[in-house]
Structure 1
Amino acid sequence: MVSDLHDEHCCSDLDDVGQDAEALSGSDAGVLAVFRAFRRVMNLYRQNAFRAFSDLGMHPGQAACLFALRGRDGVSQRELAARMHVSPPTVTGMLQKMEHAGLIERQPDPLDQRLMRIRLTPEGAAAAERLTGLFAKQAEAMFAGLSEHELAQMRRALERVADNLERVIDGRPRAARDGVDGQE
């Protein structure tokens, strides 16, 4: 299966990154162990998601598109691309396939004929609901056996990791980002 090959390739690439990080960083073993565990969880999640999408006859990008469109009737292709963090040409190709499959419809904007407005068809809305159910089952299976306390700790830790990554992306020092210096 193509998605299995893709997943194996992704896992292999990430394994190489983990080995390089271990060789180059000099970080303590605890950080690297957490990195490996997080990477393993994400790879397993991705494999499970790819399988679920495949069972529905869908590519992961199409699933993301369905979720981005759900409850947002009539967004433009440019707005959709921005929401999905992909280029407009990427969205165009995806939408063509989804339109052919009967999941979406594109209509010219009544005020600006250059713009195409995207709407989920009833079939697309039903597919989004099926995906929501699949994700709920996957989340339930992923977190089975964890207490509310453990889930709360995990959420707080992951939010801090996400904040750290945002600081790296933004290039802002921690104090400015956290509002310690009064800028936020």
Structure 2
Amino acid sequence: MSHRLVFEMMIAERSVRRWIDARSGDSGIGAAGAGVLFHLAAHDDALVGDVSAALCASPSGISGLVSRLEKAGFLVKAPDPVDARAVRLRLTPAGREAVATARGAVRELNAEISDGFTDAELDVVARWLGHITQRLS
């Protein structure tokens, strides 16, 4: 059996992004923005570089995304007190509300994409995806 794993994975990733983006409503957050907000919910006051590394994003890509999220009122930027060249990010109350809303959407998405699979099958998928990240990082 010949699997087209790379192709199928790329198509699946685009489908997941479109699903998330379609449910972001007029918030403008989308899949990439939700990733930033989720990271900040777990690591408030994070350095921009740390967020970029955690999301495997380019510095230029994260810069534009952070600016849009700041303009929308979901986060604030502040200079690092130790290193004036570094910038830290903090969620605003609106950002925390957006995280709560996005978590609900992600729960719905997880239920949708795991429907029909056993826990054992999903464990293999999760292990395989982690393997890809580890091998290619």
Q: Same fold (TM over 0.5)?
A: yes
2:59 is aligned, of 64, 88, 95, to 88
Q: What secondary structure, in the 3-state scheme, does the structure 2 residue paired with 1:105 have? A: strand
Higher relative contact order (CA 8 A, sep 6+): 2
Aligned pairs for 1:27-38 (under 5 A) are: 28=1, 31=3
What percent identity do the matched residue pairs reach? 21
| TM-score normalised by structure 2 residue count | 0.80
Q: Conserved in 1, the CA contact under 8 Å of 2:114 and 2:122?
A: no
Q: Which amino acid aligns with 1:121?
A: T
Q: Conserved in 2, the CA contact under 8 Å of 1:53 and 1:63?
A: no
Instruction: Give unpaired runs (5+ residues) of structure 1.
Output: 1-27, 171-184
Tell me: CA distance 1:139–1:169, structure 2 relative to 1, closer, same or farther (3 Å). closer
- 1:157 maps onto 2:128 in alignment: no
RMSD (Å), alpha carbons: 2.7
Tell me: CA distance 1:76–1:42, structure 2 relative to 1, closer, same or farther (3 Å). closer
Aligned residues: 137
How much has 1:104 moved relative to structure 2?
0.4
Q: Distance in 1 between matches of 2:36 and 2:25?
A: 15
Bigger Cα Rg: 1
How much has 1:97 moved relative to structure 2?
1.1
How much has 1:87 moved relative to structure 2?
1.6
1:72 is aligned, of 43, 46, 51, to 43
